[in-house]
Amino acid sequence: MATLWQASIDVPAAARAPAEAAFEGAALSVSAFATAPDDRIWRIAALFAERPDRAVLEAALAAVLPAETAATLAVAQLPSVDWVAASLATLAPIAIGRFHLHGSHHPRRRAPAFDLLIEAGQAFGTGNHETTRGCLRALVALDRRRRARRVLDLGTGTGVLGLAAARLWREPVLGLDIDPIAVAVARENARRNALHPWFHAYPADGLRHRAVARRAPFDLILANLFARPLVRLAPAIAAHLEPGGHAVLSGLLRSQAAAVVSAYRQAGLVLRHRNSEGDWVTLTLRRPPASAGRRTC
């Protein structure tokens, strides 16, 4: 197993989300946990494949942390241990609607629960982060009104969102991620949950993969990324969404939501719902139908 580097910083609870976002796009994964009994102080830890540039990280943190926050960034090389798996093994199961997400150390639930075994691994997405939970809630809400038949999970991570969609509808789901480790984890999770006939994951940068060209347009696109890539991908996501289709977007802070909504409005999508959990926001947008007779998501 490759040796990893970790950058960590202790911040007040109010600065937790901005500190997480400061590592956006650079870290392999970002985790946060309270270090004080009253949840006053949170430690934000980011994993890197190579030694990160301390000056760059400090500048990114200084740009988002309150001026009165005095915090020291620690950078250290970690031993060859799967720290992500070790930390995820202690996470509690998550119940959202009929979804029950858990690791192998927790028991399954019988029907009618939608049981998903998401094993600890080197990829983002266990259901424990506010953004993943927000996307799952958006899926539950969409399921009350319509059925998605062609789904794209962009930045699939562990595959949790794509697998949830496959579990709901038993329809084809395409998962894409720039990280080949995440793709391997997502494929294994699909096999563990017997969802591999519907869920297929591939390594790709954005939407550039031949499988996208074969399956587009999609009636549902899931993208739990960060604000900047979501804004950059707005035209491409809109172009690959069929009329009447929906996009569920997360990985953005409350302060970033307006810019993301604006980018997708310019691309032709309309905001249908917004839900917040803590400092994080999940958006559900729709591409207006071409006519009342066209099939929608």
DSSP 14: G
Distance CA 169, CA 294 (A): 20
pLDDT higher than threshold 60 for residue 82: no
Per-residue confidence (pLDDT) for residue 115, from 0 to 100: 78
Strands across the sheet containing 5-12: 29-34, 41-48, 5-12, 74-77
Domain with CATH 3.30.70.120 in the chain: 5-81
Fold that domain 5-81 belongs to in CATH: Alpha-Beta Plaits (3.30.70)
- What would the pLDDT profile of 186-199 be if each residue is shown by its tens digit? 999 999 999 999 99
- Residue 40 in tokens: 């006053």
Strands 151-154, 218-224: parallel, antiparallel or unpaired by DSSP? parallel
142-286 homologous superfamily: Vaccinia Virus protein VP39 (3.40.50.150)
pLDDT higher than threshold 50 for residue 59: yes
Domain with CATH 3.40.50.150 in the chain: 142-286
Nearest to 234 by CA among 273, 208, 264, 258: 264
Q: Is the pTM of this model over 0.85?
A: no
pLDDT band at 134, cuts 50/70/90? very high
* pLDDT-above-90 percentage for the chain: 46
Q: What is the mean pLDDT of residues 113-125?
A: 62
CA distances from 47 to 32, 40, 217, 286 (A): 12, 23, 35, 35
Q: What is the mean pLDDT of residues 227-255?
A: 94
Q: Is residue 293 left, alpha or beta, with left meaning phi > 0 and alpha meaning psi from -120 to 50? A: alpha
- What would the pLDDT profile of 137-158 be if each residue is shown by its tens digit? 999 999 988 889 999 999 998 8
Per-residue confidence (pLDDT) for residue 57, from 0 to 100: 92
pLDDT higher than threshold 60 for residue 296: no
Helix pair 180-192, 160-169: axis angle to 10 deg: 30
How many Cα atoms within 13 Å fall on the side-chain side of residue 179? 21
- Termini Cα distance of the chain: 42
Q: Which of 21-25, 36-40, 140-144 has the highest mean pLDDT?
A: 140-144
pLDDT higher than threshold 70 for residue 248: yes
Per-residue confidence (pLDDT) for residue 234, from 0 to 100: 97
